[in-house]
Amino acid sequence: MLHLKNQFIFAPIKLGYSNNKGEVTDKHLIFYRARAEHLGAVIPEPLYLDKGLRELPTQMGIDNDDKIEGLKKLNHEIKQFGTKTIAHLNHPGRMANPKIPGNYHVSASDQICENGGAKPRSMDRADMDYAIGLFVNAAKRAKEANFDMIELQFGHGYLAAQFLSPAVNQRSDEYGGSLDNRMKFPLEIFDAVAKATDLPIIVRISGDEMFPEGFHLEDMFTFSQELEKRGAAAIHLTAGTACSTPPWFFQHMFIKKGKTWEMAGQLQNKINIPVIFVGRINSPKDIEQINGNYNRPYIALGRALVADPDFAGKYLGKKEGRIRPCLACAEGCLGGVKSGKGLGCVVNPQVGLEDDIPDKADKTKHIAVVGGGLAGMQAALTLKERGHNVDLYEKEKLGGQFNLAWLPPKKDSLKEIVDYYKFELKSQNIKTIHKKVTPEDITGNGYQEVVLATGAEPAVPPIKGLKTYYWSEFLHDENLPEDKSVLVIGGGLIGAEISSKLVDKNNKVTIVEMLDEVARGMEMIERKFTLAKLKKHDVEMFVNHKVTEIINDHQVLIEDKAGNTKTLNKIDKIVIATGMKSVNELQYDLQGKIPVHIIGDAIKPAKAREAILTAFNAAKSI
């Protein structure tokens, strides 16, 4: 057994908070300290074994003895709560980041990662021995740095999985071909690490690579049974590969929730060591379902603890409040890390800034927040938390335009953040007034300051002949046309999402986009899914084109950058999705009469994360 104080384990999530030396920073200490108290164990982010094997320039390392003191500090921060620590050791093989100077790429064979990457060298015996040595030395350093356990990454398409996978392993020697042969090198790594340290060893595997040519659950039953014989302490079962099935790797909202739990439950019946359940476990209902269906499972929480550091504490009744939901959107966590900014979160503006807690205001003020979208609701809550008296004005429904965000296919999880905000507003007794605000409402009701979160509205281009058009109406099922010819003018995020909805009802969709690509600005995984769906449904896309004229609502003239024209005939309906413009007229009406703060899309149309973050920062300053 793992002998943890409770069943909850923080899964390894890349933070991107290190420096270019791979050292532990204060930001790491703050991040993990904020989450460790109510967990049984924490697995910090994957530790690189060699500077030439990094996935991020800002990844933590365990590649030399200089890292030990920093890792000791990290362990001290976590273990002060009686929470155990697990060192996650990972050799990426062909998945080492090709953009990092000095990185090298080796694998079972010379197969290139189809999701992008450098061509790897097929490993010879010397390469394999060197890789084993990296794991062994890292395990010894983990022991010296006071980790309680080790986790070996043998899944998700990393080096060990590259040997296990028949799709990647094309070897003709004793390490290729049959499953017994493909298991040999991963088992050699395990045996060497087990011999080098007395720390318990957890092995992380993908239960299934989730594509036909990869390995599947029956293979992993056999592999796990072999690991059990050799002394593995537990199996941590996830799914997918970063190369072939990224949505499963990231447990994105576009894939089915619970598939990894089912696989872990089946494995639990095949072995006698613990199985750790993981995969989009982000609500109390998920935990209750897993606990009800399986025997005393360990549960690994990932992005749920990014969205709400107190997730486990709230579930266990040791912290008050509603759990702030993870939306499984990958926008802030994956997007922030990929961009080099470090881990962030759409719904939690304090990620990476956990010690920057809003202070109580020096003076309590009566403040109006105008606009009940995400920005307005976040501002109202933060202002209330700081001790101000707050009234929130919203002319329609709380949630604003984010109420459209969960209407496209497979995005229903996004609704949870609006429900969370509504609950918090009610529990904090923040008065919500449903009306369109006039300047007199602000100046005549004793408000001392006002926050404008009035959002944005569609920007309609001056197209000759444009009379009848739609914007977001087709996202609502009751308005969705069927078997029509629909022109979508604008192929950005909104245009692509509306198009994705339209094809579900057998509409013939044509997109005209002025830029050189469709779905620009869409989160990476969602973009790949959406473009594949549009292609499958034969959506015609004209990039680097603009609409110049509409004749009788049914004939459309378009023009490319060279001035060449084309006519689109028999168009039944036209959707305008050419961007948004800020709505902030009240700013000018109130200037000089009362201090005005502008947040969210009212400053500049942007994504939900920016809206919430600007609201949080503005409310901290008032």
Residues that are catalytic: 158
Neighbours of 289 (CB within 10 A): 15
Q: How far apart are CA 324 and CA 306, in angstroms?
A: 10
CA distance 192 to 213: 29
CA distances from 302 to 238, 327, 363 (A): 12, 12, 39
Buried residues in 293-311 as b, exposed as e (16+ CB within 10 A): ebeebbbbbbbbbbbbbbb
* Beta carbons of 433 and 391 less than 8 angstroms apart: yes
Could you give the CA distance from residue 608 to residue 346 in angstroms, rounded to a whole number? 6
**How far apart, in whole angstroms, are the C-alpha atoms of residue 170 and residue 351?**
42
CB 61 within 8 A of CB 134: no
Separation of alpha carbons 390 and 386, rounded Å:
11
C-beta atoms surrounding 101 within 10 Å = 7
Do 179 and 117 contact (CB within 8 A), yes or no? no
What would the 3-class secondary structure string for 439-486 be? HHHHHCCCCCEEEECCCEEECCCCCECCCCCECCHHHCHHHCCCCCEE
Buried b (16+ CB within 10 A) or exposed e, 422-438: bebbeeeebebeeeebe
Relative to beta strand 431-433, strand 449-452 is: unpaired
Q: What is the DSSP string of 556-622?
A: EEEEETTS-EEEE----EEEE-S-EEE--HHHHHHTTTS-EEE-GGGTS---HHHHHHHHHHHHHH-
C-beta atoms surrounding 77 within 10 Å: 21
d(CA 189, CA 394): 60
Q: Which residues on neighbouring strands pair with residue 449, listed in sequence order? A: 367
Q: What is the DSSP letter of 241?
A: B
CA distance 320 to 318: 7
Chain centroid to Cα 198, Å, comes to 35
